[in-house]
Copies of this chain bind each other. A is one copy, B any other.
Amino acid sequence: MFKVTFKFESGEDVTTFAQENENLLEVARKVNVAIDAPCGGNASCGKCRVKILEGNIDSPKTRHISDEEYNNGWRLACVSKVTGDIAVQVPDIASAYRSRMKVADLSSKKEIAIFENAKNDIEEAGIALTNSMGILDIEMNVPTLDDTMPDNERFIRAIKKKTGAARVRLPFQVLNKIARIFRESAFQVRCVIRTSANKDDIFVYDVYPKDAEVVIGGLAVDIGTTTVSALLINMETGEIIGKASAGNGQIRYGADVINRIIESMKPGGSKKLQDAVIKETINPMIEQMCRASGFNPDHIYRMCVAGNTTMNHLLTGMEGDPIRMEPYIPTFYKTNSLFASDIGIRINRDAHIIIAPNIGSYVGGDITAGVLVSMLWNRPEFSLFIDLGTNGELVFGNSDFMMSCACSAGPAFEGGDISCGMRATDGAIEACTIDKETMEPSYRVIGEEGQKPIGLCGSGIIDVIAELFRTGIINPKGKFIREGKRIRHDRYGMGSYVLAFEEEAGSVKDVEINEVDIDNFIRAKGAIFSAIRTMLASLDFDVEMIDDVYVAGGIGSGINMRNAVRIGMFPDIPLEKFHYIGNSSLSGAYTMLLSREAERKCYDLASNMTYLELSAVPTYMDEFVACCFIPHTDTSLFPSCTQE
């Protein structure tokens, strides 16, 4: 057994022991050290870089490590075998998806404006912002020797009398505490209840002493393949109490849904994937939001999840295989069978978990929730909704019809599959320009004044590629065709552009973008654009007929639509038609918590949306291949770009 130590840039470290020849990535996984390996550990993505600090390790050279880097101790964990005691540095970038949980500072109001907007839009569409949860004050007679009704009957009768409900249900957790609370508060109590739409049924979630300050907590969670975001809200007022985001802990089992499903079908796999998203991701986020705001997690009585179909199934531990195998039938699109205690979400154990409805195996609740807040369904104009997640999903339509489709974009928009890619969080370059003469970059970094760059988020990558192309540094195929101080080629001839040398960067590593990254991104944007073209063509529409484009996703609020058009990701239509609406999956889940009617509307949307299976359209593959250029093989599709 050899001693293995992982050191983090934060100064923390984790030490464990490994067998001779044990794979370093496996060793890290066992002790829950998150080293990203979107490719699943087959040396193809180059993300799992670590740097040897002490000792040595058996690790071959690969195209992802330059000679100089190799000499400086850089290795890929996935191809390294332990041969002795060793200490390695884990760069922030290598664990960016997981370790960087961000609990938002709400004081600036910027973080919450987007949800205010969603709420207002919904209300303007005539949807009442009332939900099924409420607070009820109950006064009972204090029992005597002549009035010996047991506590539960006394309570249920008083609730029925006050509300007119026909049936009242006290769950075990409530039954278990009424004896104490009734006697502490002289049989005058305040309850958190849920009332059925017809007012006949009341479910009592909780009971407090009279006059207690009670806030009914609700939890909205967007479970993305790459990123998980959550809101803790006051369900009565809609106030946002906390906001957090973190990488989806499942990422170490593969970057896309197919790899995750395959992993989940191995023995114990389903539990492993479920733990990764619940125990390692969602529960810590709940804990941190609650700690930051002094909120008791047991007072979160309802949760709404928006995520794609696979994410929903892996969350609930359901079998994923039927989703990926023909005829692609999931266990559920929506369900009312799910409670927090069923899957170990650390909120009130009786909290109902509602799920934004999936409409197919590859168009999920993140999209229906997003469409809900895009208001596409409430306008006569033709709108295109685009969610730039690990899967790219599109919805086109108006108040009369809606069609959806999905394409596999990979994690590039959230910084995955890009050597210096990261989520749109502190340290991410979110915007960039490059001087045509000097080829020197100027960039904007997310975070406080003076924050140094660690990596690139989606919007930053778009800018960098657009600028590299505009300045003639790369050609339409994404290959480097100029030379300069910031342009390097490794021994395999692969070019890269350094945005920040190690000394300029906030990490132990240069921030750069290479040809493989550009290639990955071109394929991602190509998937989106070809999907747009194919879906519109199937409806006999043309891009000119689009009135509005709503862009959603974790790509970063700094997205430069002009650059997105320039690289051929979005159609070349007037820029004012583009609107970035942020994480619409999360704001959709938020409105579904706030409004019973919005929840129902979302179910309606799901059942009225048609689905186009792109792979069944014969022209789609050709269309995709044609899109894998900057901006496109057919430049006539991008007239404004060629005029520049």
Contact = CB atoms under 8 A, between A and B. Distances in A.
Contact of A337 (B148, B175, B358): B175
Nearest to A142: B327
A176 B342 CA distance: 10
Given A143-B327, A169-B337, A337-B170, A332 B175 contact: yes
A153 B332 contact: yes
Interface stretch (A100-108, A317-325, A380-388, A544-552): A317-325
B176 A144 contact: no
Contacts of A153: 332-333
Contact of A183 (B147, B318, B322, B332): B322
Given A144-B327, A176-B318, 8 more contacts: A153-B332, A172-B338, A172-B343, A175-B331, A175-B337, A176-B316, A179-B318, A183-B322
A437 to B, nearest CB: 56
Contacts of A326: 145
21 contacts: A143-B327, A143-B329, A144-B327, A145-B327, A145-B328, A148-B328, A149-B329, A150-B329, A150-B330, A151-B330, A152-B337, A153-B332, A172-B316, A172-B339, A172-B342, A174-B337, A175-B338, A176-B316, A179-B318, A179-B331, A341-B341
A110 interface: no
Nearest to A143: B329
A148 B331 contact: no
A44 to B, nearest CB: 31
A94 interface: no
Contacts of A145: 326-328
Interface in A117-144: 143-144
A76 to B, nearest CB: 37
Contact of A329 (B148, B174, B342): B148
A171 to B, nearest CB: 6
B151 A337 contact: no
B342 A151 contact: no
B143 A331 contact: no
A72 to B, nearest CB: 49
Contacts of A337: 152, 169-172, 174-175
A360 interface: yes
Contacts of A149: 329
A485 interface: no
A125 to B, nearest CB: 27
Contacts of A150: 329-333, 358
Interface in A284-307: none
Interface string A176-204: 10111001000000000000000000000
Contacts of A170: 335, 337
Contacts of A329: 143, 148-151
A507 to B, nearest CB: 42
Contact of A152 (B148, B169, B322, B331): B331
A337 B333 CA distance: 29
B143 A175 contact: no
Contacts of A178: 331
- Interface residues on chain A, size class: 35 or more
Contacts of A180: 319
A417 to B, nearest CB: 30
A179 B270 CA distance: 13
B331 A151 contact: yes
A403 B151 CA distance: 23
Given A179-B318, A327-B143, A360 B148 contact: yes
A179 B176 CA distance: 35
Contact of A322 (B175, B179, B317, B338): B179
A333 B148 CA distance: 11
Interface in A145-166: 145, 147-153
A328 B150 CA distance: 9
The residue among A170, A178, A180, A331 with the most chain B CB atoms within 10 A of its own CB is A331
A89 to B, nearest CB: 42
A183 B330 CA distance: 12
A537 to B, nearest CB: 22
B175 A335 contact: yes
Contacts of A316: 172, 175-176
A636 B342 CA distance: 66
Contacts of A172: 316, 337-339, 342-343
Contacts of A318: 175-176, 179
Nearest to A330: B150
Which 4 A-B pairs give the minimum distances between C-beta atoms?
Answer: A179-B319, A172-B342, A152-B332, A143-B329
A147 to B, nearest CB: 8
The residue among A147, A150, A174, A332 with the most chain B CB atoms within 10 A of its own CB is A150
A339 B342 CA distance: 13
